[in-house]
Amino acid sequence: MSNIIAIVGRPNVGKSTFFNRLVQRREAIVDSVSGVTRDRNYGKSEWNGKEFSVIDTGGYIKGSEDVFEAEIRRQVELAIDEADAIVFVVDVEEGITPMDAEVAKLLRKVTKPIIVAVNKVDNAKRENDALEFYNLGLGEYITFSAMSGSGTGELLDKVVEVLPELPPVDENPEELPRFAVVGRPNAGKSSFINALIGEDRFVVTDIAGTTRDAIDTKYNRFGFEFNLVDTAGIRRKAKVKEDLEFYSVMRSVRAIEHADVCILVIDATRGFEGQDQSIFWLAEKNRKGIVILVNKWDLVEKDTMTTVEYERKIREEIAPFTDVPILFVSALTKQRLLKALETAVHVYESRKNRIPTSKFNEVMLPIIERNPPPALKGKYVKIKYCMQLPTAIPQFVFFANLPQYVKDPYKRFLENKLREIYDFQGVPIDIYFRQK
């Protein structure tokens, strides 16, 4: 589990540039994962050995100029509720604008750590111009340039310094698996859990987001035992009536980071929308097991092709990670709910799959010999040995003479072979190449 940092501020002050810099710094350390660039509003970053999640509120703001102010105010309020620390980005070129003052007014009431980050400061004159930001009444500020990167080190030092200490994660292997039920508001997450538990443990109404908090339910029926985490609309403030994309993503972050398997509930009548996709990539990026449930299937007009067609559309959206179970269910009629649970348990088990090294080499090396990586600049890549890493999630390393020459298409080829031979359905896989 990691802390959450929200980057707030009015449009065009450089929030997204700063966000990209943070997330890419992290992705330059670990091998970059294909398919994660589509969701640019959430990422993981790390500084001085401390890992944290970053949310760029800017990417979620849609609407014309007049909608902006209300929208920004609402997002700042959400960030204040959900984040552990807030970076308030302002622009030295424009000085304090009325909208900055408005955001500062909201932030002054908050007890959480707030860092004022003055962007576009890349010379001494601008250093002086930045003094005006003391007038925001939020104390010290830090100057930096998101574009050139100067000053971001000091800014990050400050960020990790103010982050609260997290309670140590209990690595007890006896702990029950945690299944988080996630999805956009009103997709039927609470109804799904109520139908499983057989009692109205959660209040279910037609108003999106009536669940007040993430509730853990110890589930023990039909021979399954695990914790179910409901994130339905979690602690939605009365003020926030709108069905905000930012809201459900922000709320899903913690639940996903803390889960083993994510059960993504989508509303069959609405399709696999942008928000569902954001939550899907969030789970994939965190390397969690994933099961997709198409709920309210009883409300959809059927013909013989419907499920096939519907499933194909979802798989197109989640490519290249298409090896994910998709089930059509109805929480109302309890159709296929037990199957959904069995599938989640199966994904959990697959995530713990361990392949002995000798067996793994016996299987993979002949495949590699028949289909070696393409030569680059007349040089041939030879892979001599491979193994599964002793990590909590499936990660494989292949030792080669020229690892830097192995490109993404070949990694995908190996991943597809792994999925054909071994059962990793619903589980993201990492493949690394190292110098032998």
Domain map (residue ranges) of the chain: 3-162, 178-352, 357-435
Query: Which pLDDT value is given to residue 167?
Result: 65
Homologous superfamily of domain range 3-162: P-loop containing nucleotide triphosphate hydrolases (3.40.50.300)
Q: Same topology for domains 3-162 and 357-435, yes or no?
A: no
pLDDT of residue 49: 83
Annotated binding site: 9-16, 56-60, 119-122, 183-190, 230-234, 295-298
As a whole number of angstroms, the distance between CA 188 and CA 182 comes to 10
Three-state DSSP class for residue 61: coil
Class of domain 178-352: alpha beta
Let me know the angle formed at the C-alpha of 9 by 7 and 10, rounded to the nearest 5 degrees.
140
pLDDT computed for residue 244 by the predictor: 54
Residue 2's pLDDT is what? 76
Q: How far apart are CA 72 and CA 109, in angstroms?
A: 17
In this prediction, residue 186 carries a pLDDT of: 79
Q: Which residues are annotated as a binding site for GTP?
A: 9-16, 56-60, 119-122, 183-190, 230-234, 295-298
Tokens coding 318: 């989640």
Residue 133 region by backbone torsions, left for phi larger than 0, else alpha for psi between -120 and 50, else beta = alpha
Distances (CA, A) of 136 to 88, 114, 145: 11, 12, 20
Regions of the chain where pLDDT drops below 50: 25-39, 171-173, 202-213, 233-243
Q: How far is CA 407 from CA 31, 226, 400, in A?
A: 12, 39, 13
pLDDT the model gives residue 236 = 43
Residue 101: count other Cβ atoms within 10 Å of its Cβ. Answer: 12
Fold of the CATH domain 357-435: GMP Synthetase; Chain A, domain 3 (3.30.300)
Quote the pLDDT of residue 214. Answer: 52
Instruction: Identify the pLDDT of residue 60.
Output: 58
